[in-house]
Structure 1
Amino acid sequence: MLLEGKSVVVTGGNSGIGEAIALAAAREGAKVVIDYVAHPDETKSLIEKIESSGGQAVSVRADVSKVEDLKNMVKTAVDAFGRLDVLVNNAGIETRTSVLDTTEADYDKVLAINLKSAFFGTQLAAKQFIEQGDGGTVVNISSVHEDWPMPGNTAYCVSKGGERMLARTAGVELGPHSIRVVNVCPGAVDTPINDETLEDPEKSKTLKNSIPLRRVAQPSQIAETVVFLASDRGSYITATSVVVDGGIMQGSVGL
């Protein structure tokens, strides 16, 4: 198994892509810490699902925009499993507002949950990795919009652009400690955040026609990429972004 015995923390781990990552990591032998801020019943059900399949998982309620909560999240992994090997910075939100309409509160919330959390999560995980002495991996769930503009969702794009440089710069800084930092950049994924589009026949058709593979991703497909990158098979990949988008960033070419 690709993650046998590894201790893995997944932020926002009880729904959508985060849930898929938690399940995939557990299937590959990881001991999983599921961070959440809402829906404790869903978190409990997810842990039961992992345990019923022979895996190990615990939960921690941590607001990733708060450094003290992030510290507690790392501590939970160490207390439960003796160490931390992989941090997946998955938690994220968007407001779908333009640069003209975004309020200060909107901006602060998006940047705190999407970028501040990834920055300080990386910092705290790296300190734990260094203390352990044998390296570790941070995987940030970024977006194609770290590089591809999305008018009408400016704060989100700014946060993802920041994650792009976080992976590059932190990956270079931390490489000598055998710590890897890499982004995964999904395109359109079948998660609740896209329900409005996918449930509208015309919008769904337009979206799928913009994707060369003519389909949106399933969360499990993003999760499998994360598992690969977190495993020894991805051990020479760092300070970069891996795009998993069905070609959508190039999809307008020739259409």
Structure 2
Amino acid sequence: MMLLAGKTVLVTGASAGIGRAVAIGCARQGAQVAINYNSDVAGAEAVVAEIEAGRGQAIAVRGDVADPAAATDFVERAVAAFDKVDVFVNNAGICPFHAFLDMPAETLERTMQVNLHGAYYMVQAAANRMVAQGHGGSIIAMSSISALVGGEFQTHYTPTKAGVLSLMQSTAIALGKHRIRCNALLPGTILTDINKDDLADAMKRRQMEARIPLGRLGRPEDLVGPTVFLASDLAEYVTGAALLVDGGAFVNLQ
């Protein structure tokens, strides 16, 4: 039995990395999928093609999540294609590593706009549609272990992920009366394009792996199961929760 049969799932930032894996994983569980992407046309087309090759249905909608208009456009185009929004996965994010003391204002502002403001606009647009539909829904946001711990070259990034976690906690309260569940996933170090340059240092990578009880860095596919669970009816009494998906890294920091 497919856990998301009959559901429509929207995923932001889904042309690569975690978003790509989640979009394809949800489709394999029976969902119709709409993906958002900003610039990677080939990547977005490849995701749609892979879903369709598995006899699923998918569309790709281009838009910069930092633009409030992109949120309403994404939701409206998903509804035009699939009639409804059952699950919304806020995944889009950036992390241009940079030192704190000389952080360019434009780097800080862009990171805030994409990661936090973009999450707010997108979640708000999806929630409004779910409220109008009247049958509840599930909103899942990719926060990060960085919401709980600091990073020397992530002083602009970690506050946004803490903000995304807080957004899910507050929207869980605001939207509970509409039977809309809001939860956060907190990935640890996942091998994606965001950190591939940082992890190119073999010694640094080995040191990071040594701190993880499960003995390896994460893969985008490691977020599929937790997302599907929170999206499905199996989690119908789960809201306001934060689930670490980090191989045990957070509890092994001493």
Tell me the equivalent position of 1:153: 154
The alignment's TM-score, normalised by the length of structure 1, stands at 0.96
What is the distance in 1 between the residues matched to 2:46 and 2:154?
A: 33
Aligned: 1:140 with 2:141: yes
Amino acid in the other structure paired with 1:247: G
State the 1:210 CA deviation. 1.2
Tell me the equivalent position of 2:168: 167
| Helix, strand or coil at the partner of 2:197 | helix
Q: Which runs of 4+ in 1 moved over 4 A?
A: none
Tell me the equivalent position of 1:201: 202
Tell me the equivalent position of 1:46: 47
Any stretches of 5+ residues in structure 2 without a counterpart? none
Tell me the equivalent position of 1:221: 222
What is the distance in 2 between the residues matched to 1:192 and 1:94?
A: 10
State the 1:220 CA deviation. 0.7
What is the distance in 2 between the residues matched to 1:148 and 1:235?
A: 29
Q: Is the 8 A contact 2:95 2:194 kept in 1?
A: no
Any stretches of 5+ residues in structure 1 without a counterpart? none
Q: Cα deviation per residue 1:49-94 (whole Å; 9 max; x = unaligned)?
A: 1111110000100110011111000001110000111111100001
Tell me the equivalent position of 2:10: 9
Aligned: 1:95 with 2:96: yes
| Helix, strand or coil at the partner of 1:139 | strand
| Helix, strand or coil at the partner of 1:88 | strand
What is the distance in 1 between the residues matched to 2:133 and 2:101?
A: 47
RMSD: 1.2
The alignment's TM-score, normalised by the length of structure 2, stands at 0.96
What is the distance in 2 between the residues matched to 1:81 and 1:212?
A: 42
What is the distance in 2 between the residues matched to 1:101 and 1:227?
A: 40
Per mean C-alpha deviation after superposition, the further-off stretch among 73-82 and 196-205 is 196-205
State the 1:203 CA deviation. 1.4
Q: Cα deviation per residue 1:192-228 (whole Å; 9 max; x = unaligned)?
A: 2232344332111111011111101111111221111
| Helix, strand or coil at the partner of 1:239 | coil
Q: Cα deviation per residue 1:153-197 (whole Å; 9 max; x = unaligned)?
A: 111011011112101111111111101111100001121223234
Change (3 A) 1:150 1:198: closer
Tell me the equivalent position of 2:72: 71
What is the distance in 1 between the residues matched to 2:198 and 2:95?
A: 15
What is the distance in 1 between the residues matched to 2:152 and 2:204?
A: 17
Q: Is the 8 A contact 2:94 2:194 kept in 1?
A: no
Q: Is the 8 A contact 2:14 2:92 kept in 1?
A: yes
Tell me the equivalent position of 2:237: 236
Report the identity percentage: 36
What is the distance in 2 between the residues matched to 1:97 and 1:196?
A: 13
State the 1:105 CA deviation. 1.0
| Helix, strand or coil at the partner of 1:35 | strand
Per mean C-alpha deviation after superposition, the further-off stretch among 133-142 and 235-244 is 235-244
